[in-house]
Amino acid sequence: MNIGFIGMGIMGSRMALNLLEAGNDLTISNRTREKAQPLLDKGARWAESPAELAAAVDILFTMLSTPAAVREVASGENGFLQAMPRGALWVNCTTVDPDFARQMAGLAAAQGVGYLDAPVAGTKGPAASGELVFLLGGDGADIDTCRPYFDCMGKKTVHLGDAGMGSSMKMLFNLMLGCTMAAYSETLVLGEAFGFSKDDVGKVLLDAPVTAPFLKMKHPLITENNFEEHFPLCWMRKDLHLAADAAYRNGVALPALNSIKEIYGLAEKQGLGRKDFAAVYTMLAKNGSGDS
Query: Has 170 been annotated as catalytic?
Result: yes
Q: Which of the 8 DSSP states describes residue 42?
A: T
Helix (H, G, I), strand (E, B) or coil at 237: helix
For 203-217, how does the pLDDT look when each residue is reduced to its tens digit (9 = 90+)? 999 999 999 999 999
**What is the per-residue pLDDT for 290?**
41
CB atoms inside a 10 Å sphere around CB 271: 11
Q: What is the pLDDT along the chain (292 residues), one digit of tens a residue?
A: 999 999 999 999 999 999 999 999 999 999 999 999 999 999 999 999 999 999 999 999 999 999 999 999 999 999 999 999 999 999 999 999 999 999 999 999 999 999 999 999 999 999 999 999 999 999 999 999 999 999 999 999 999 999 999 999 999 999 999 999 999 999 999 999 999 999 999 999 999 999 999 999 999 999 999 999 999 999 999 999 999 999 999 999 999 999 999 999 999 999 999 999 999 999 999 876 544 4
74 contacts 68 by C-beta, under 8 angstroms: no
Domain boundaries, the chain: 2-162, 168-287
What φ, ψ does residue 90 adopt, rounded to 5°?
-105, 125
d(CA 160, CA 168): 9
**What is the per-residue pLDDT for 291?**
44
**What is the per-residue pLDDT for 288?**
65
| Topology, domain 168-287 | N-(1-d-carboxylethyl)-l-norvaline Dehydrogenase; domain 2 (1.10.1040)
Please state, in angstroms and as integers, the Cα–Cα distance from residue 161 to each residue in 13, 43, 166, 167, 176, following that order. Answer: 28, 36, 7, 10, 21
Would strands 59-62 and 89-92 be described as parallel, antiparallel, or unpaired?
parallel
Let me know if 208 is exposed, middle or buried by CB neighbors in 10 A (0-12, 13-18, 19+): exposed
Would strands 154-159 and 132-136 be described as parallel, antiparallel, or unpaired?
parallel
- Whole-prediction pTM value? 0.94
For 152-163, how does the pLDDT look when each residue is reduced to its tens digit (9 = 90+)? 999 999 999 999
Catalytic residue among 124, 156, 170, 269: 170
CB atoms inside a 10 Å sphere around CB 248: 12
Write the CB contacts of 11 (distance below 8 Å, at least 6 apart in sequence). Answer: 63, 93, 120, 123, 124, 127
Helix (H, G, I), strand (E, B) or coil at 145: helix
30 contacts 10 by C-beta, under 8 angstroms: no
| Topology, domain 2-162 | Rossmann fold (3.40.50)
Share of the chain above pLDDT 70, in %: 98
